[in-house]
Amino acid sequence: MSLRMRTATAEDIPAIGRISAAAFDPSTDSITRRLFPRDAGDAKIAPWREARKGASLQSERTVMMVVVDEQLNDEVVGFSFWEAPVNNGRGEPIHLHPKEPEPPAGLDLAAYQEMRSIVGGDAVDTFGKDGTAHIWRMFFPPLFSMVRCQLTNPLDLEYIGVDPRHQRRGIGKILLNWGIEQAQRQEVDCYMFATPAGRTLYEKAGFVVRKVVPVFGVPHYSMILHHKPKTQLPPSPASDKTN
């Protein structure tokens, strides 16, 4: 296979921004269409998307992964954003985020806040008042929807994006499996607030639907992947060493 995953660099940001804009275009994605009306114009939205991703890369908590196609001169064909809390020495996570760029005039701020409330409400309903403070998570791109995996020092997956020209090549699966492997290694469960388009991928990976959550009239899915502990064998009976 010509696909290879690696950690993203600042040089990848333009490609990541381009893929994000193409994969979640208002003409095909209902949530993006609500947040970014078509009359906002891609010329206004695209620079903001790219600036946001550049700011995220500067965060001490952010890890970006990309998949490149070696047969296309290492062209970036997919990406994922992961966010890992930083401990302040007392075991408490601190959240270090660089200042985000000003949103474009076309962003519907009321709709954006409504979505934040819906997504945040599901996190509190699932994990209690601390929400995602102690979990792995994955966001869907318009707002950052989520795979979240419970652990003390969490790694958060913000979202996965695949170039529409390279879909059905297993790119999303490669990016998702990387995070699942981290969670399994640390023996934790994963939680996700999934888009309709992503549901099939996540169900194939073992996630199950907790409940259906409408977002702007479109069903989204609160999903869980339970950690399966390794089989614990009973201790062997003490050997009888009597001569």
pLDDT at residue 51 is higher than 50: yes
- Taking the alpha carbons at both ends of the chain, their separation in whole angstroms is 61
The mean pLDDT of 124-142, rounded to a whole number, is: 59
Give the Cα separation of 164 and 19 in Å (integer).
8
pLDDT in tens, 146-167: 344 444 444 445 678 899 999 9
Which pLDDT band holds residue 44 (cuts at 50, 70, 90)? low
Which pLDDT band holds residue 2 (cuts at 50, 70, 90)? very high
Which pLDDT band holds residue 203 (cuts at 50, 70, 90)? very high
The mean pLDDT of 170-190, rounded to a whole number, is: 83
pLDDT at residue 231 is higher than 60: no
Tokens of 123: 């996190």
pLDDT at residue 41 is higher than 80: no
Contact by Cβ (8 Å): 140, 193: yes
pLDDT at residue 204 is higher than 70: yes
pLDDT in tens, 72-112: 999 999 998 876 644 444 444 444 455 666 777 778 888 88
Q: How far is CA 146 from CA 37, 40, 46, 191, 224, in A?
A: 23, 26, 22, 7, 11
Q: Residue 217: which region, alpha, beta or left (left: phi > 0; alpha: psi -120 to 50)?
A: left
pLDDT at residue 242 is higher than 50: no
Lowest mean pLDDT among 43-57, 114-128, 209-223: 43-57
Per the model's pLDDT, the better-predicted residue between 190 and 37 turns out to be 190
Alpha carbon of residue 140 to chain centroid? 6
Please report the domains of the chain, with CATH numbers, ordered by start residue: 3-225 (3.40.630.30)
E strand segments, the chain: 3-7, 62-69, 75-83, 86-87, 93-94, 147-149, 156-162, 190-194, 208-215, 218-225
Lowest mean pLDDT among 16-25, 204-213, 234-243: 234-243
Name the nearest CA neighbour of 22 among 144, 158, 167, 139: 167
Give the Cα separation of 230 and 207 in Å (integer).
18
Q: How far is CA 181 from CA 63, 97, 122, 189, in A?
A: 15, 26, 24, 11
